[in-house]
A and B are shown apart, each in its own frame.
Chain A
């Protein structure tokens, strides 16, 4: 069942997720592209996200709920239509071998669709970044073909205007952060007051307003990533490529970013296709529509091809019990138990997940953590 955005926001407000509700409210007003509504949403956000020293001026949750309801009533939801999904980039059997070095990316195919997120996972040095850089037009491919559906006979400048790549090490910004945001918006044709409004919107959307007048040296690496994403979104690319965007973020910021990506990708204002790499398998799998596992330059698994997987079950547990105790408890299922840095990864082709877990608990094994990874890329690690 699909929840309407209005109900979603009201639900967030009812459960005290005010900050999330405000972010969604901002998204909704952006989709209307109505300047007045956007300004009102920005005002609510500003009044709520105040600096600790101005706590006394902060809007209460109740007041936010009231204002949000009022704003939601002004939005004409009937006018909002989701744009049809379309393939933005088709990389067909692309391969790349570096002239210096032994590594090569074997023929790999990937489609990037608007409103969808593709996650690329794998160990370091296995070809994730190479794949991304090939799609972004940064590296010349040796074989295969990349088609950019929205562009007619594009040159590489047009491709790079269409696709934006955010590297793991974000290049330093110069000057005031806010000027950089205005500049990025302006070079994409967002001029005048609309430029001001969009920048204010992004600052609020990523809660960067209190840092906008600072310079690059004065913000943490996590904020740098957020500023960079805000800057790139102001350029309104059709495809966003992120290399390890979660690397510099704390757990909360990772969750926030992934949720924001999820929402922004599906925005009807500028629906994007996103492809990202990460080491945070579970987090990526939660938001990505497709996850690809790259090993030694080959795509060995993708989550939209689970039918190709064997029927084996895989799960991981965390416990203080010894491996022998686990094996004894599950002896009937002929399990393979691997110890993997604090976790036990258990696989079996002769049992069902809930029965095996039940057997473990019955045997007195105290399980402090459990995750089913049967359809996750994690099973390949």
Chain B
């Protein structure tokens, strides 16, 4: 008999086999959650892949992920309800070595798997955009658009060059006296401005007049440039190659430009209240009359639509490149860890002790907040407070070894210790660095020291990993025993 919708024979067989042979694993429902989540992920991926979407238009992945998140949350609640049903530990069944650890890890993986589902819409969207629009082609097309507009607008762009005097400074005091309308730059900025200028003339050592021509980069996406090997022409290059070249077929240029514009333009952003960043000025040629000329050209060719289109394409395309994977891995890890810990504690504690533990945590947070505010605690004080709480809970939980009765306070303390333990190494490292940082500054080390920060980062990473490992070791050695002693003890 098929007990569940969409459940194939092998799943029912597996379910039955786990029920008869591995009741502890069966009661976590890992196999069912895993199967249905994978099915859901595949279905979602197919929908996202087949659903028509235009990469030039604004992405609605946040809405998608939000809706999927709600569905996942409902699925999570259903799983929690199922977890209420069967519990080997609370029915005093035979518990074998490794069982507690295994069930905790299964809870963790289930939650991590459920968390990953919300990433599917943006990832698929990104893959689709990446397949549809080649980075090199976009870079070449952007360049070609600039070339074509430069040629078509030869007679309309202002012909004068904009001068700008630059003076290189040494330290904080300029070696040359102060002059009105002159830019004083440090050597790095000075060099960069000279190299990137359209033209330059040295007046004396450290004093240069740079000349800018009307900005011929009508569309320029820095993210495309960042990832493409093809380098688009600068204004200087466009000026020499296209602006000065009068020998071209205007009709053919117009047709080619039209094709390129329709290839990339967005249809939905026409009434947008801001201009896309990739159509804005990137040089100093920006007096009012020239702005008007640029504005006219941009509007003439609907360059804002094009700008939004390319912006949307690059946002989608490079999402997977831009992402900071460590942040997301950390988010999934901690989210899964905290929820798995709550589930684990709930499954080993009484309902009363569990909810009173949460209440204790809330009350302690409020009281600690008041302490910190009233006594003006700094970072170190907060860390001391957290370590103090942990020690108190640890001492209270240790009473379970000697007690013959089930005490609510010991139960709450045990729950608190289990919930806090993976974070204790981080708190200790944080405490160490909070003391160290004050000493560091006291000796006048205000400068950024990369080695110090790298070491700090490394220590926090080690603390994060060791926190998880300590938890896993203690679940199987200490917590399992304490929960067993506490839960089974007679009540008063």
Contact = CB atoms under 8 A, between A and B. Distances in A.
A195 B484 CA distance: 26
B298 to A, nearest CB: 66
A91 to B, nearest CB: 13
A156 B488 contact: yes
B167 to A, nearest CB: 81
B94 A188 contact: yes
A358 interface: no
Contact-residue bracket for chain A: 20 to 34
B485 interface: yes
Contacts of A175: 85-86
Contact of A196 (B20, B85, B485): B20
Given A160-B92, A187-B88, A182 B489 contact: no
Nearest to A141: B490
A156 B489 contact: yes
B1 A157 contact: no
A184 interface: yes
Contacts of A155: 484-485, 488
B93 A140 contact: no
B488 A159 contact: yes
Nearest to A163: B92
B484 to A, nearest CB: 5
A347 to B, nearest CB: 41
A245 B29 CA distance: 33
A182 B404 contact: no
Interface string B459-492: 0000000000000000000000000110111111
Could you say which of A157, A176, A213 has the most chain B C-beta atoms within 10 Å of its C-beta?
A: A157
A134 B490 CA distance: 8
Interface in A118-143: 134, 137-141
A10 B443 CA distance: 100
A99 B92 CA distance: 27
Contacts of B430: none
Contacts of B75: none
Given A175-B85, A184-B91, A186-B20, A138 B492 contact: no
Interface string A233-268: 001000000000000000000000000000000000
A325 interface: no
Nearest to A155: B485
Interface string B69-89: 000000000000000111010
Interface string A159-178: 11100000000000011100
Interface residues of B, number: 28
Nearest to A187: B93
A161 B92 contact: yes
A140 B20 contact: no
A192 interface: yes
B20 A182 contact: yes
Interface string B20-31: 111110110000
A103 interface: no
Contacts of A213: 1
Contacts of A174: 84-86
B405 A137 contact: no
Interface in B1-30: 1, 3, 19-24, 26-27
B417 to A, nearest CB: 19
Contacts of B1: 213
A88 to B, nearest CB: 17
A64 to B, nearest CB: 28
Interface in B361-415: 404-405
B24 to A, nearest CB: 8
Contacts of B20: 182, 186, 191-192, 195-196
A109 B384 CA distance: 53
A81 to B, nearest CB: 27
A155 B19 CA distance: 27
A364 interface: no
Contact of B93 (A99, A180, A182, A188): A188
A238 to B, nearest CB: 13
Given A155-B485, A174-B84, A183 B92 contact: no
A141 B489 CA distance: 11
Contacts of A159: 488
Of A160, A182, A187, A188, chain B has the most CB atoms within 10 Å of the CB of A187
Contacts of B491: 138-140
Contact of B488 (A134, A160, A195): A160
A305 interface: no
Contacts of A235: 91, 93
Interface in A166-216: 174-176, 179-180, 182-184, 186-189, 191-192, 195-196, 213
Given A157-B485, A176-B3, A182 B19 contact: yes
A137 B19 contact: no
Contacts of A139: 490-492
B94 A140 contact: no
Interface in B123-156: none
Contact of A183 (B19, B404, B489): B19
B88 A157 contact: no
Q: Which of B24, B27, B487, B490 has the most CB of A within 10 A?
A: B490
Interface in B93-139: 93-94
Interface in B394-449: 404-405
A137 B488 contact: yes
Nearest to B24: A187
Nearest to A191: B21
A195 B22 CA distance: 12
A191 B22 CA distance: 8
A137 B85 contact: no
A237 to B, nearest CB: 10
A157 B21 contact: no
Nearest to A190: B20
Contacts of A189: 94
B188 to A, nearest CB: 70
Given A155-B484, A195-B20, A187 B490 contact: no
A179 B19 CA distance: 8
A137 B93 contact: no
A293 B492 CA distance: 25
A157 B482 CA distance: 11
Contacts of A176: 3
Contacts of B94: 161, 187-189
Contacts of B23: 183, 186-187
Nearest to A159: B488
A141 B488 CA distance: 15
Given A157-B92, A182-B20, A188-B94, A99 B492 contact: yes
A160 B406 CA distance: 14
B32 to A, nearest CB: 12
B21 A186 contact: yes
Contacts of B27: 183
A141 B20 CA distance: 37
Given A161-B94, A235-B93, 8 more contacts: A155-B485, A156-B490, A160-B488, A161-B92, A186-B19, A186-B20, A186-B26, A213-B1
20 contacts: A137-B488, A138-B490, A139-B490, A139-B491, A140-B404, A140-B405, A141-B490, A156-B485, A174-B85, A182-B20, A183-B23, A183-B86, A186-B26, A187-B94, A192-B20, A195-B20, A195-B21, A196-B20, A213-B1, A235-B93
Sorted nearest first, the 5 A-B pairs with minimum C-beta distance are A187-B93, A156-B488, A174-B85, A157-B488, A186-B23
Interface of B: 1, 3, 19-24, 26-27, 84-86, 88, 91-94, 404-405, 484-485, 487-492
